[in-house]
Amino acid sequence: MVSDLNHFSFDEKETKKLIRKAKVWSTLRTIGIVIIITPITLLLLWYGFRQWSHAEAQKTMNEIIAFNEISGPNTHISNQTYQANWFGGEIETKTYKVIGNKPYIWEPVERKYNLLGSSSREYGSFGPIAMEKSESLAESSQLYRYNAYTGDRELFFYHPKITYDRYRDSISELDKLKKTNVVELGLSFDQPYTLQEIEDRLPPGIHPVWWWVDAYKDDRITYMSQGQQTVNAESVFVYGFHAEQFEPFGGVDSFIANIEQLRKQSKSFKWSAEQAYESLVGDNGKLEEQDIKIIGAIVTGTAEQLGTLRNQPYIRASTFGVITETIDSFDE
């Protein structure tokens, strides 16, 4: 009987040792698995989020290009780069203008994007700066603003449905410029025109690089009228399209297609595209070429070439943008 008890006591001790040993090995095995699995899991997560971030970066860059085609007055995209992280990243878009027959480096645009498909512009230290004083709020909207990145004047426009106390007439100042100057000039028309109507009115040799479209709702016009607000070329409320010589990134068809794309697919630019669409769409519920009315334009050339715009009755106002110099001849 005693022998049996001793045998049972021995088995119990051995069992406890075996259990402890099993627990140790189990713990070690778990630690080993964690050590092996954790970096693999983190690597897979890193790769997955990074691929997601890359995909969102490409999507956002495409949206930036599309938005520039409906709201980038004489501004073209030369290059886009991005830096991705786990939760999104940053995109830099380098831009240029076409002044005469040459590119002119313009302000780069920086945007942050996230994995949910949204992005926001980073203004940083860049932005327009005012160099003139005004007596009133209405007058302040007609002062020239200068781009902090390039130091050039920024164009602005006068909406034909708003009555202003005064209008800029930069065309009358063309004779003050040097013969070597090449000019970017913003034109504001006296009323909306079809593209064909305004093309027929422009003097020979005048070739617009961008058309300003009347894409403003009545409530927006009412708000602007209260302070006689002009529309700055860098505003989120400026809509238009590049001239046909810039196709496939120009023309009415491209303008309509990009509005449709952004309002249906973009989170970041959906609101702006919807504003343009709702103000332009016809009674048939479709946005078509006949719905597009032109209320202004950007033209470039030498002072002599642009001088033919003097005393044109359909031009209500004109403002200078970039004025640069060239030693090369300008092709008419």
Q: What is the pLDDT of residue 139?
A: 63
Give the span between the Cα atoms of 250 and 200, in whole angstroms: 19
CB-CB contact of 162 with 150 (8 Å): no
33 contacts 40 by C-beta, under 8 angstroms = no
Structure tokens at 200: 């027929």
Q: How many CB atoms lie within 10 A of CB 181?
A: 17
Residue 187 has pLDDT above 80, yes or no: yes
Q: Per-residue pLDDT averaged across 157-179, rounded?
A: 93
Please give the C-alpha separations between residue 329 and each of 49, 100, 214, in angstroms, as whole numbers. 52, 10, 35
What pLDDT shows up at residue 80? 94
pLDDT-derived band of residue 270, with 50, 70 and 90 as boundaries? very high
Q: Name the percent of the chain lying above pLDDT 70.
A: 87
Q: How big is the chain, counted in residues? A: 332
Question: What's the pLDDT tens digit per position in 145-159?
Answer: 888 888 899 999 999
Question: Tokens representing 189?
Answer: 């028309």
Indicate the pTM of the whole model.
Answer: 0.82
Q: How confident is the model at residue 136 (pLDDT cuts 50, 70, 90)?
A: low
Please report the pLDDT score of residue 76 as a whole number: 95
Tokens of 188: 């504001």
Q: What is the Cα–Cα distance from 280 to 275, expressed in whole angstroms?
A: 9
Q: Which residues pair with 203 in a beta bridge?
A: none
Average pLDDT value over all residues in the chain: 85
What mean pLDDT do residues 191-206 have?
Answer: 94
- The per-residue pLDDT for range 58-98, each reduced to its tens digit, is 999 999 999 999 999 999 999 999 988 878 889 999 999 99
Decide which of 208 and 123 is more confident.
208
Return the closest-CA partner of residue 207 out of 175, 179, 184: 184
Which strands, in side-by-side order, build the sheet including 128-130?
Answer: 128-130, 145-147, 153-154
pLDDT digits (tens, 9 = 90+) for 5-26: 455 455 667 777 777 777 777 7
Q: What is the mean pLDDT of residues 108-114?
A: 90
- On the question of pLDDT at 130 being above 70, the answer is no
Q: How confident is the model at residue 281 (pLDDT cuts 50, 70, 90)?
A: very high
Flag whether pLDDT at 4 surpasses 70.
Answer: no
> Before 192, cis peptide (omega within 30)?
no
CA dihedral sign, ordered 202, 209, 178, 152: positive
Half-sphere exposure of 181 (CA within 13 A, CB side): 17
